[in-house]
Amino acid sequence: MERGAGGVRCGWAALLLALLVFSRAAQAQNAPSEKPKVTRILFLLDASGSMMAPWEGQPRWTVAKRMLSKMVDSLNAYPNLELGLRVYGHQFPNADKNCQDSKLEVPFAPRNAKAIKDKLTTLKAQGNTPITYSLEQSANDFPTDKSSRNVLLLITDGLESCNRDPCAASIALQRKHVFLKPFVIGIGAERDFGKQLECLGQYYNAAEVKTFRTVMDDVIAQTLSKTTVSVNLTDAAGRPVESNVNMTFVNNVTEQPEYNYVHYRDAQGKADVLDIDALQSYDLVINTVPPVRQANLAIKPGKANVLTFKTPQGTLWLQNPAITPNPYGTVQAVVHDPQKNTVASFPFGTRQKLLAGNYEVELLTLPRITRRVTVKQGQELAVTYAAPGTLNITTDLKGYGSIYRLNDDESQTWIYNLPDGGSSKVNLPMQPGAYRLVFRTKTSTGSKFTDVRNFSIRSGQTTSVAIFGK
């Protein structure tokens, strides 16, 4: 049974009271608000010729106007809510194929339900379907107010008829924060054209009149009801012990960050409650190292959502050897996951939290050292390297050469090239071990004049290697 305007009005009271609270919080990038946030709903109404087609015994146009009139009437008396009406396809007959037939008929204003209802009685459905143009024009309908919540509700029975891309236009406007992810209601559809409209925003198929009524109610409820999210970060056993981690809610339509938080839990281990605008869809990035990403968060509008993610962490301590001063200066380390993806890089002398698991730590010493490690929940793992020695090449001859590490099986591994054609006089901090220097002077007249010298490096000592011309 259809509800009267008074019953609907009462039904919205609780939601709008929640809106008053909600409007004081949850802003993109967490910007503080000094006054209650205004929610603006722009109804974008299809008045193309096809809207005169019969729908359960009456024109679609008649049903749409009646339902929209009741909706705006029920929303009229509450603060921090403004409504506007843009219509397309109503100024020129369909034969004109006018692709700019779109007009803001009722600008945004508080308590303007009567203006919208009066305007609806004067309009007729007759023309084209310029959805893309109407979306672009709607950018000028919303006042310049970065603190407001701009909502667009498209009611249509057809597709774009002007050979343009409404989906690209919608995403572009969302990225500019003109409006949030739009609602799209396809009414009286004789065929399923939702696949072509759902890219615009959140699509509803209202094939029946009663469905249209329910969908309208649901859309307004999502727009005005308060939604909260709590995020539990747990260890491997599911205990909510992790915290103090950056979290980013990323709009997965525009790919832009909407909220940045540093996770907090109280002394009882409870995560705090965040006000999140449910009119957008999100990926959550928990910025551990490596990050944890959850695509398409299951956030229910108007509910207190609790989300749980396992983020067990341990600590990797990059411990410098006991030598002062360190010939290397500051040594960097690069951490890779088991798939060889780079996870992070940071210097020795620091401690870094990592998700519990297996890693490969590459120490950028000379030569480089690779360590396979396992980081465990709540534990600290120290990684270090041997104190280096120094290689001193004691000649001023210019030439070409390389240094190789000698392996236990008597093979050699390249680790360093001397400056090409320049002076070979160098001092290199190196890890202890056996090495080989291969060098040819710039003035030599053949490869046979290559000089090969084996040498050893010991911690804290200097090894001198002399090169002579041939």
Q: How many C-beta neighbours within 10 Å does residue 33 have?
A: 12
Torsion of CA 255, 256, 259, 264, to 10 degrees: 60
Q: How confident is the model at residue 17 (pLDDT cuts 50, 70, 90)?
A: very low
Query: Is the pLDDT confidence value at 26 over 70?
Result: no
Helix (H) or strand (E) holding 20: helix 5-22
Bridge-based pairing of strands 451-457 and 433-441 is antiparallel
- How would you list the strands of the sheet with 412-417, edge to edge? 412-417, 399-406, 433-441, 451-457
Beta strand 433-441 with 304-310: parallel, antiparallel or unpaired?
A: unpaired
pLDDT of residue 192: 63
Six-digit token pair at 456?
Answer: 């050893």
Give pLDDT, residue 19: 42
More confident residue, 79 or 126: 126
Query: What is the DSSP secondary-structure string of 38-61?
Result: PEEEEEEEE-BGGGGSEETTEEHH
207 confidence band (pLDDT: 50, 70, 90): confident
**pLDDT > 80? residue 31:** no
Indicate whether 35 pLDDT > 50: yes
390 - beta bridge partners? 429, 462
What does pLDDT average to over the chain? Answer: 89
Percent of the chain residues past pLDDT 70, beyond the cut? 90
State mean pLDDT over 354-366.
97
- Tell me, what's the pLDDT at 304? 95
For residue 389, pLDDT over 80 is answered with: yes
Mean pLDDT of 50-67: 94
Q: What is the mean pLDDT of residues 385-391?
A: 96
Q: Is the N-terminal amide bond of 93 cis, ω within 30° of 0? A: no
